[in-house]
Amino acid sequence: MGRFLILDTLGSGGMGVVREAYDRTLDRTVALKVLHPGGAKQHRARLLREAQALARLSHPSVVQVYEIGTVDEDTFIAMELVRGQTLREWAREPHSWRETVEVYLQAGEGLAAAHAEGLVHRDFKPDNCIIGEGGRVRVLDFGLAREVELSSREERVGLED
């Protein structure tokens, strides 16, 4: 797929498929989220929104986006490949309360970073959070994210004075 060599399929959903791919130009392995062939216009718009939302964020608890593109009418996002398990898979095993709190705090920090940029995830669930092999949590799948106006109560009160 262009400069990307497809290595494996990591998962799929209603909108597309996530593949492990090797980026021959940048010499790294990435996750490619590729729309299903003939994906509807709204799916392309959603993928673009997701890429734009992720590109605005730079936080250890949010998956990094590298680029969005099209190859032979296949639209994709190239992003950080995180080897690990979803929060749903992780939660199936017993964990201490301290470990559980730490994992959810990391996810919350990723969401807080998004909120600080004026983004609301709108689809946060255990399947949209991955715990890497090193234990670091990353929030992903910002396809339903919406931008909100940044204004706090204090800012509104300050404007009224």
127 catalytic per annotation: no
Q: In angstroms, rounded to a whole number, what is the distance separating the alpha carbons of residues 45 and 122?
A: 16
Strand arrangement, sheet containing 16-23: 4-12, 16-23, 28-35, 74-80, 65-71
Tell me how far CA of residue 58 lies from CA of 65, 146, 158, in angstroms. Answer: 9, 17, 30
Comparing CA positions, the residue from 113, 135, 136, 134 lying closest to residue 124 is 113
Q: Which of 123, 127, 141, 161 is catalytic?
A: 123
Q: In angstroms, rounded to a whole number, what is the distance separating the alpha carbons of residues 122 and 50?
A: 12
DSSP 127: G
Catalytic residues: 123
